[in-house]
Amino acid sequence: MSAKETKDDLGSWWWPWAPTKKNPASPIDASHDQALRSHFLRFLDYTEPPNVFKSSEVAQMLTPAELANLGYDDYRDAIMAVKVIAWDMREFGDCIIYCKGPDGKYSKKVPSNVSWMEVDGPVRFKRKGTVHSDDWD
C-alpha cells in the first residue's frame, strides 16, 4: 500500500460493489435530505406542546445508511442540518425555537431576525400551538 492509498481505496479494489464514501454534505444541503426532514417532522408532529425536543434527538434517528448517504460518520455531524430545518419550519410558522434564558431554562424564544448561524449553544424546538391545544405562542 503506497502512502497515497487509503484503506477505502483497497476496500473498493477488494470488493468493487462496496459503497464509496461521500464527501460530507453542508448543513444547508443536508437539510434538504428527505430522511432527515421526515425525522424532524415526526418529532414535530408527535411532541405535544409544552414539551420540546433537541436537535440531537432528531439526528440520532438517522440510520447508518442515511448518515452515509449524507457523507456523515456520526449523528453529531447532522445536528447543524437539523437546525437549518427548524429555521425553515419557523419561517412557515410551524415551529418555535428556544434557547437558554438567564434562568438556565429553555424559556427564551429565539427572535425571528436571528439566523441559525448566529445562535450560540443548544436550542430546543416546539410545535406551534394547534386548534386542539391551549398553547398559542
Segments forming the whole domain that contains residue 96: 23-127
Q: What is the pLDDT of residues 25-78, one digit of tens each?
A: 999 999 999 999 999 999 999 999 899 999 999 999 999 999 999 999 999 999
Dihedral (CA of 44, 47, 53, 59) sign? negative
Q: Is residue 123 part of a domain?
A: yes
Q: Is residue 73 part of a domain?
A: yes
Nearest to 121, CA basis, from 59, 54, 62, 61: 54
35: Cα within 13 Å, side-chain hemisphere: 14
Q: How many Å apart are CA 83 and CA 86, to the nearest integer? A: 5
Q: Is residue 17 part of a domain?
A: no
- Domain holding 44: CATH number? 1.10.10.10
All three cell numbers of 93, joined, read: 410558522
**Structural domain tally of the chain?**
1
Name 19's Cβ contacts closer than 8 Å, sequence gap at least 6. Answer: 68
Q: What is the pLDDT of residues 6-22, one digit of tens each?
A: 445 444 555 555 556 67
